[in-house]
Amino acid sequence: MQISGAQMVIEALIAEGVDTVFGYPGGAIMNVYDEIYKQDGFQHILTRHEQAAVHAAEGYSKASGKVGVAMITSGPGFTNAVTGLADAYMDSIPLVVISGQVPMSLIGTDAFQEIDAVGISRSCTKHNYLVTDAKDLPRVLKEAFYIAASGRPGPVHVDIPKDVTAQIEEFNYDIELDLETYKPNVKGNPRQIKKAMEAIAEAKRPLFYLGGGIINSNAAYEVRDLIHKTQIPAVETFMARGTLSHDDKYLIGMLGMHGSYASNMAMSETDLIIALGARFDDRVTGKLSEFAKNAGVIHVDIDPASISKLVNADYPIVGDVKNVVNEMLAQADSIDGSRYESWRETIENFNALHPLTFHEDSERIKPQWVIQRVGEILGDDANISTDVGQHQMWSAQFYPFTRPRQFISSGGLGTMGFGFPAAMGVKSASPEKVSVNFTGDGSILMNVQELMTAVEKKLPVINIILNNNFLGMVRQWQTLFYDKRHSETDLSMQPDFVKLAEAFGGVGYRVTTKEEFDAALKDAVEKNVVAFIDVVVERFENVLPMVPAGGSLFNMMLLEKKEDK
């Protein structure tokens, strides 16, 4: 059939099974938006900022496992979206982001709202396209969805000049993809897997190191089976929270900069790391030369470039975690889990020595208490997103996650302003769950305009602001490493968050006691509304334990015992 480039975009999205598109129109993308107006194949959610459109698509993708889609215009529309692209790239989130571009005849003339979008996005996307002929659109869009979701997932950017969206051409989406230069290795070498299993059987203190790749490849339940079958303890990265349920007896906890003492000590004492979809990030390893010094390394990852990049792998296995873990499961009978009993005891002792906890305060609410309390009240019924800062780390430490895709946060890039729009995306993908966004008084103001989107589109996100009148994490570093010089981190001057929520048609609560918090959360959940719960918390609370940047994992700053205080 002969249709315009703009219609091709719509037809391709529908053919890809897209049900929700986040976006913001503008001059160069208007032909496409005109077709959006005419169709009912998917819903379009108008955010109030392009960055938020991409974060919402990320949240949608993380919660659903599907490819997220965002649509934006040229120039400032595109540049606003770059942070979202970079965020998705760092966290391997499959997205297709479509931008309008000035007409072909104006490209390179510094035309109104022109920017070299593909030039800018090249370093923060898995791949990108400038489509110069509508004849290429079906192939490009099909490739874009395939590349975004396959191999190590990531964002793909498609830039389409305005005249190309107006061009009429034959449309046929029933195309066989021919990408001879792109063939991700998903299977995992059987010989290497066999060798790895032999190494596990011989190890005395093996440790599973679970990364976000497990969530991306939907392998969490297979990983649970493997861990239960082998009885080997496991630590999770920040990105892997929810792979194991919080009450799983083999889960030690999160490791890394703000990981638990037991997790980091286990990592320091292990003789065999079994890394699944984890990339030995600097926030996890601390000082590399001191990291797991006596351990052999099995490293399973779909991205060959991640293997042996920072820590040398003795058993490198390139493949999709799900496939490799299934193969390991088939060979797991050879492993006698009772061998590791004393190792598990050692870890329990670590945990007993310095459990992950905090000191309650009778006068002020502790931020960790808020997170635990939401866990007690909502638990599995909530999907949790976060912004970036102290509240983010406390969420990862203290929320009782029960399943994969329950925890959605900006790990790699650490994007303040991610949480609220991402939570809207989560809510649209998973409407049956309560969508809670833990945020800070700094982070929430970075995309606060999305109150309007959430209210208009009836996406009842409950934003819990852990309000300490500080850029808390920077303040913590200033306290610890800059002799308490709190340079430009004091946020004493703040809006009235209750009125702010109300001004947009949401509901606001100001909370200073635990009782008020319980009542506010109950009310917000029952009313099913967009809410700000502004919780006044202890100002100077630190996220502990902590491995100072560049320090050794086993050398942690720990919570002082109460009697020491």
Partner 1 sequence: MTTDNARRVISVIVVNEASVLSRITDLFSGRGYNITSLTVAPIPDTKYSRLTIATLGSVKIMEQITKQLHKLIPVLRVYEHEDMVEKEMALVKFDITENLSDINTICEAYNGKIVNAGESTVIVMVADEPKRIDNFLNSMKRYNPKEIVRSGAVALER
**Region near partner 1 per CB under 8 A, out of 17-25, 226-234, 297-305, 538-546:** 297-305
Report, in Å, the least distance between residue 181 CB and partner 1. 5
Tokens linked to 156: 């793909």
Report, in Å, the least distance between residue 383 CB and partner 1. 31
Residue 39 known to be catalytic: no
Q: Are 299 and 308 within 8 A, CB to CB?
A: yes
Report, in Å, the least distance between residue 234 CB and partner 1. 27
Nearest CB to partner 1, comparing residues 58 and 136? 136
Binding of partner 1 at residue 309 (CB under 8 A)?
yes
Of 113, 372, 449, 494, which one is the catalytic site residue?
Answer: 113
One DSSP character per residue, 191-217 reads HHHHHHHHHHHH-SSEEEEE-THHHHT
Report, in Å, the least distance between residue 416 CB and partner 1. 23
Residue 50 known to be catalytic: yes
Residue 546 known to be catalytic: no
Nearest CB to partner 1, comparing residues 5 and 389? 5
- Say which residues have a Cβ less than 8 Å from residue 319's Cβ, sequence separation at least 6: 185, 186, 187, 188, 189, 300, 302
Residue 385 has φ and ψ, to the nearest 5°, of -115, 165
Report, in Å, the least distance between residue 147 CB and partner 1. 6
Query: E strands within 395-444?
Result: 407-408, 434-440
Residue 358 known to be catalytic: no
Nearest CB to partner 1, comparing residues 121 and 390? 121
Of 8, 265, 473, 556, which one is the catalytic site residue?
Answer: 473
How many residues contact partner 1, by CB under 8 A?
18
CA 376 to chain centre: 23
Q: Are 435 and 460 within 8 A, CB to CB?
A: yes
Nearest CB to partner 1, comparing residues 177 and 558? 177
**Contact string (CB under 8 A) for partner 1, positions 489-528, x = contact:** ----------------------------------------
Residue 61 has φ and ψ, to the nearest 5°, of -65, -45
**Contact string (CB under 8 A) for partner 1, positions 225-254, x = contact:** ------------------------------
Nearest CB to partner 1, comparing residues 308 and 449? 308
Of 11, 35, 50, 327, which one is the catalytic site residue?
Answer: 50
Coil/strand/helix, residue 50: helix
- Tell me how long the chain is: 565
Residue 170 pairs in a beta bridge with: 2
Nearest CB to partner 1, comparing residues 97 and 501? 97
Spatial strand order in the sheet of 507-511: 407-408, 382-386, 434-440, 461-467, 531-536, 507-511
- Say which residues have a Cβ less than 8 Å from residue 47's Cβ, sequence separation at least 6: 22, 23, 24, 53, 56, 421, 424, 450, 453
CA distances, 460 to each of 453, 454, 525, 528 (Å): 10, 6, 9, 6
Residues 163-182 touching partner 1, rule: CB under 8 A, are: 179-182
Coil/strand/helix, residue 275: strand
Chosen residue from 248, 271, 303, 516 binding partner 1 by CB under 8 A:
303
Nearest CB to partner 1, comparing residues 17 and 119? 119
Nearest CB to partner 1, comparing residues 185 and 494? 185
Among 477, 528, 467, 532, residue whose Cα is nearest residue 500: 532
How far apart CA 356 and CA 208 sit, in angstroms, is: 20
Token pair 């192939």 is at which residue?
Answer: 139
Nearest CB to partner 1, comparing residues 121 and 368? 121
Report, in Å, the least distance between residue 117 CB and partner 1. 12
**Contact string (CB under 8 A) for partner 1, positions 177-216, x = contact:** --xxxx----------------------------------
Report, in Å, the least distance between residue 153 CB and partner 1. 13
CA 292 to chain centre: 26
Residue 21 pairs in a beta bridge with: 44
How far apart CA 371 and CA 394 sit, in angstroms, is: 7
Report, in Å, the least distance between residue 279 CB and partner 1. 13
Residue 198 known to be catalytic: no
Chosen residue from 41, 304, 379, 414 binding partner 1 by CB under 8 A:
304
Chosen residue from 79, 308, 372, 494 binding partner 1 by CB under 8 A:
308
Of 62, 126, 142, 162, which one is the catalytic site residue?
Answer: 162
Report, in Å, the least distance between residue 151 CB and partner 1. 9
Nearest CB to partner 1, comparing residues 225 and 303? 303
Report, in Å, the least distance between residue 305 CB and partner 1. 4
Residues 95-154 touching partner 1, rule: CB under 8 A, are: 118-119, 122-123, 126-127, 130, 132, 147
Amino acid at 524: A
Binding of partner 1 at residue 339 (CB under 8 A)?
no
Query: E strands within 370-505?
Result: 382-386, 407-408, 434-440, 461-467
How far apart CA 457 and CA 530 sit, in angstroms, is: 10
**Region near partner 1 per CB under 8 A, out of 36-44, 167-175, 219-227, 301-309:** 301-309
Amino acid at 391: H
Active site residues per annotation: 50, 112-113, 162, 473
Contacting positions for partner 1 (CB under 8 A)? 118-119, 122-123, 126-127, 130, 132, 147, 179-182, 303-305, 308-309
